[in-house]
Amino acid sequence: MPNIPNTESLRVQDALNRRVFLGSTAGALGATALASLLAPTPAGAAAVTGPAGRTFPSFPAKAKRIIYLFQSGAPSQMDLFDPKPEMEKRRGENLPESIRQGQRLTTMTSGQTNFPVAPSIFRFAQHGESGMWFSELVPNMARHADRWCMIRSMVTEQINHDPAITFCQTGHQLAGRPSIGSWVNYGLGSDNADLPAYIVLTSFGSGRRDDQPLYDRLWGAGFLPTENQGVRFRNTGDPVLYLADPPGVARDRRRSTLDRIAALNSARGSLVGDPDIAARTAQYEMAFRMQASVPEIIDFSDEPRHVLDSYGPDISRPGSYAFNCLLARRLSERGVRFVQLFHMGWDHHGGLPAAIKGQCHDTDQPTAALLDDLAKRGLLDETLIVWGGEFGRTIYSQGSLTATNYGRDHHPRCFTMLMAGAGVQGGLTWGATDDYSYNIVTPEQKVHVHDLNATILHLMGIDHLRLTFPYQGRDFRLTDVHGEVVKGILS
């Protein structure tokens, strides 16, 4: 007769079994994660402790929230912010090799036999007490000259759109890493239980409607927990699908259904120890709350007429840049920590003068109105505004050059970004380029994309060196192994 162990012995062995131990531990971690997701950090809380015991903010934050106005396609710096009047004397001349210095070309211009200098046809003027230069294309943004910090010495490593935008967003040119908004969400958590901490808004530009596409991975969480990914509001129809309950389904019935699903998920999570089950439950709960919060936030009927008018004629068109700017303000004042607008249409390889006019018509007035609106509500001093694209444009013309028409190719060596609001010096122009807006002539003021991202995190109270996540055997961060805070632009 076989020797059958007693029940108590089996129970003890199971308790010590590695798989059972790990499963029960993971289940507890999942429950803890779910509890933190369903009870997010309240507004004004001093710090959030991360999974590895890190505490953020690392130091007092200058900014409570970010509105990132990403101009997808790469605006031309010498037609908007970096005037080069001497180039009129060089019109049509071939770009000197001493300036180009063997820079690689894109496939769009690699077949050109010459690279004719194309000076901007737009007039520039100085504005504000700071005397900051702006093109005639952006008169409303120019009104805020003493609020903007203009960085003319941005530099990136990428020369094509997709890797360059991915690089700006994630700190790496290859897809798969977390976006900057996801990192902020991971580090700081949420101030609003009824809305995601990271929301993305997109709009099509009138300058070039068939411009470079956007991909959801640009606001993805990568290897971070999935609840940190950005939530994109659609630019046509309902901003979020299935906001309304199906016909015949009462609100209390929906609540009861979610409670039953949560109970089943909790039981399954305890059994298999999968933290993603807790994340899914939290997402169901967030979706339930968004059914009430989102319709209210996209209803502009409570906005005074003069506020609506200040954003321009497109304010009444959902999904427009103007609509999204006002929506960004409403989201921010309700505690959404990171709002990112992507406005497409800036990729002007040909027909730039007409196309850039369309883009500025889309963006100039709403951007200025957003700053005015935030300032009047006392929010600008605690909100960081970032405006810019993935790289710059060449001084030479892509294709034929005429007196009134030209195009510009991609240029990673120098471009312009604008910042305003919390923690940055208004009225400051940082860095300078040569007469061709081709190379940076103030190397001590060069700002790499990693430096910009490190500075954004710094203003949010996060030390970019400490905000890390273990993955595939090493600790990753937004700035990889690079990046320095640009202290010279801080207030």
pLDDT per position as a tens digit, 450-491: 999 999 999 999 999 999 999 999 999 999 999 999 999 999
pLDDT for res 55? 61
Q: Are 489 and 153 in contact (CB under 8 A)?
A: no
Angle at 137 between CA 356 and CA 157, to 5 degrees: 55
pLDDT for res 485? 98
Question: Hey, where are the domains in the chain?
Answer: 50-239+298-489
Of 213 and 119, the one with more pLDDT: 119
Of 471 and 253, the one with more pLDDT: 471
What SS3 class is residue 449? Answer: helix
pLDDT > 90: percent of the chain: 67
Question: Using CA of residue 64, residue 69, residue 74, residue 77, what is the dihedral sign?
Answer: negative
380 to 226, 307, 310, 377, 385: CA distances (angstroms):
30, 16, 17, 8, 8
Reported pTM? 0.86
> Which of 42-51, 148-157, 327-336 is the least confident region?
42-51
pLDDT for res 22? 38
Structure tokens at 362: 């889309």
pLDDT for res 3? 52
> Average pLDDT over the chain, rounded to whole?
87
The whole-angstrom distance between residue 131's C-alpha and the CA centroid of its chain comes to 29
Q: Which of 25, 65, 66 is nearest to 43 (CA)?
A: 65
Kindly report the CATH class assigned to 50-239+298-489. alpha beta
Q: Quick one: DSSP state of residue 137?
A: T
Type of residue numbered 326? L
- Residues 359-405: pLDDT tens digits? 999 999 999 999 999 999 999 999 999 999 999 999 999 989 999 99
pLDDT for res 149? 98
365 to 34, 268, 311, 321: CA distances (angstroms):
42, 52, 6, 10
